[in-house]
C-alpha cells in the first residue's frame, strides 16, 4: 500500500489540473456559444441581451484565468474561480434549486433539472477562489 501512496504522491503537484481543466472546459463549452446566440438566450430567459454578454464574458474569462493561473499568477486562479462561481449562484437560484437536487433524468417523474451538477461546479470554482495556487502544492 505504501508503494501505491508514494506513486500517487508523485503526481500530487499536477493533480490540480484535473478539476482545473475540467472546470475550464465546461465554462468554455457553455460560454463561447452565448456570444453567438445572445439575443435568443435573452429572449428565452427574459433578461437583457447585455446580461447574456456579461455572463458569457464571466464564463469565458473565468476559464481563461483559471487555466492561466495554473501556470503562474495566484490572483488569476482566484479571480477565475470567483468569475465562474457567480453565474453558478445565479443558475442555481434562478433555475435549478426549484427543481430539487437530482440533475440526472431517471424517468418521467424526475425531469433531471435539479441542482446537483451546478452545486458541484460552484464548489470547485469556490475551491480555486479560496485556495488559489496553493492547490498546486505538493504536501
In a domain, 1, yes or no: no
In a domain, 7, yes or no: no
Query: Does an H or E element contain 87, and which?
Result: helix 74-91
In a domain, 92, yes or no: yes
Residue 114: pLDDT band by 50, 70, 90 thresholds?
confident
| pLDDT computed for residue 43 by the predictor | 95
The pTM of the full predicted model, rounded to 2 decimals, is 0.87
> Cα angle at 136 between 133 and 139, to 5 degrees?
125
Contact assessment for residue 66 and residue 23, using Cβ atoms and an 8 Å cutoff: yes
In a domain, 66, yes or no: yes
| pLDDT computed for residue 110 by the predictor | 63
Crossing angle for the helix pair 17-36 and 38-45, nearest 10 degrees?
A: 90
In a domain, 3, yes or no: no
Domain boundaries, position 118: 16-131
In a domain, 88, yes or no: yes
Contact assessment for residue 128 and residue 77, using Cβ atoms and an 8 Å cutoff: yes
* Tens-place pLDDT, residues 58-97: 999 999 999 999 999 999 999 999 999 999 999 999 888 8
CA atoms within 13 A on the CB side of 88: 22
Contact assessment for residue 55 and residue 87, using Cβ atoms and an 8 Å cutoff: yes
CA atoms of 79 and 24, how far apart (whole Å): 13
Query: Does an H or E element contain 39, and which?
Result: helix 38-45
Contact assessment for residue 84 and residue 23, using Cβ atoms and an 8 Å cutoff: yes
In a domain, 10, yes or no: no
For the chain, the domain total comes to 1
In a domain, 85, yes or no: yes
Amino acid at each position: 500500500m505504501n508503494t501505491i501512496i508514494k506513486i500517487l504522491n508523485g503526481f500530487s503537484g499536477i493533480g490540480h489540473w484535473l478539476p482545473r481543466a475540467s472546470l475550464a472546459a465546461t465554462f468554455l463549452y457553455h460560454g463561447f456559444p452565448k456570444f453567438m446566440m445572445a439575443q435568443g438566450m435573452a429572449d428565452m430567459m427574459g433578461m437583457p441581451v447585455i446580461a447574456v454578454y456579461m455572463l458569457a464574458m464571466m464564463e469565458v474569462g473565468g476559464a481563461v484565468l483559471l487555466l492561466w493561473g495554473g501556470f503562474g499568477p495566484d490572483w488569476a486562479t482566484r479571480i477565475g474561480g470567483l468569475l465562474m462561481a457567480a453565474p453558478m449562484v445565479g443558475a442555481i437560484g434562478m433555475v435549478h434549486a426549484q427543481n430539487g437536487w437530482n440533475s440526472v433524468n431517471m424517468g418521467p417523474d424526475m425531469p433531471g433539472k435539479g441542482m446537483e451538477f451546478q452545486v458541484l461546479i460552484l464548489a470547485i470554482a469556490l475551491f480555486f477562489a479560496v485556495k488559489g495556487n496553493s492547490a498546486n502544492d505538493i504536501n
